[in-house]
Amino acid sequence: MTNSLLEFRNLTKRFGGVTALDDFSMHLNRGEILGLIGPNGSGKTTSFNLLTGIYPASGGSIFFDGEDITNKSPRKVYEAGVVRTFQRSRLCLPLSIYDNIMIGDTSRLKTGICANLLGRKAFRKQYEETFEKARSLVATFSGNLADRMMEPVGALPMIERRRIEICRALISEPRLLLLDEPSAGMTHDETDQLMTDILDVRARGEGLSIIIVEHEMGVIERITDRCVVLSYGRKIAEGSYAEVAADAEVQNAYLGVD
């Protein structure tokens, strides 16, 4: 078994005459936190959408744990162990914390009519087990939040909603977590707290790998092991945060040329 969990090989995505991702190759190691950074429109979220099956690739391949998952359906990618969060919240605000989290693990729930009507004891047992699983996961982020599992998420502040979104992604016990701008809409202090949570999750989750798309460079510097920089769909740099931050092409991509 190689140490590489994920590989993009010459990945390309075109939207008509616009090339959003251009011959992009990269890899992610097992247990690694990789920062995927670049200016707006550089192809970061597009790469997530290709990986998770939302968009078909125009060219190239995606390998996850040695298996070619290029253009697989979102369901198949999820079943392989890849989950994500989104920059804009996808929580169902009127639903409870518990309900929102279990949306992320519906494949394991027996929700058929016959199972619920004829197997009431089994259904009750499953409900109790899933509730405790969700509560325990939430407790790793916030003990106070774990005591409010049946409250609607619409009443929660942004940092708690972000925590619930991450819990919803983690409830299926994935191998790869994709975080798309998790600090969006939060204060500096809230962002700092959430990054501590993410580092704790990585420390506790054996083998969990993370790719984070983020514009806050302080976040990237703090939590990533390695960075890949995109500009206009092309990879322009790769290495530690210190290495890419010192790269002249990266500085030009972010700041422009005087």
Domains of the chain with CATH codes: 1-81+174-258 (3.40.50.300), 92-172 (no CATH)
Closest CA to 216 of 203, 204, 201, 198: 198
pLDDT digits (tens, 9 = 90+) for 180-199: 999 888 899 999 999 999 89
pLDDT of residue 240: 96
Asked if pLDDT for residue 90 goes beyond 90, the answer is: no
Could you tell me the pLDDT band of residue 125, with boundaries at 50, 70 and 90? confident
Handedness of CA 212, 170, 183, 70 (dihedral sign): positive
**pLDDT, tens digit, 9 for 90 and up, residues 106-122:** 665 555 566 556 666 77
pTM given for the model: 0.90
What pLDDT was estimated at residue 160? 93
What is the pLDDT confidence band of residue 103, given thresholds at 50, 70 and 90? confident
For residue 138, what pLDDT is reported?
94
Chain centroid to CA 219: 15
Q: 65, 177 in Cβ contact below 8 A? A: no
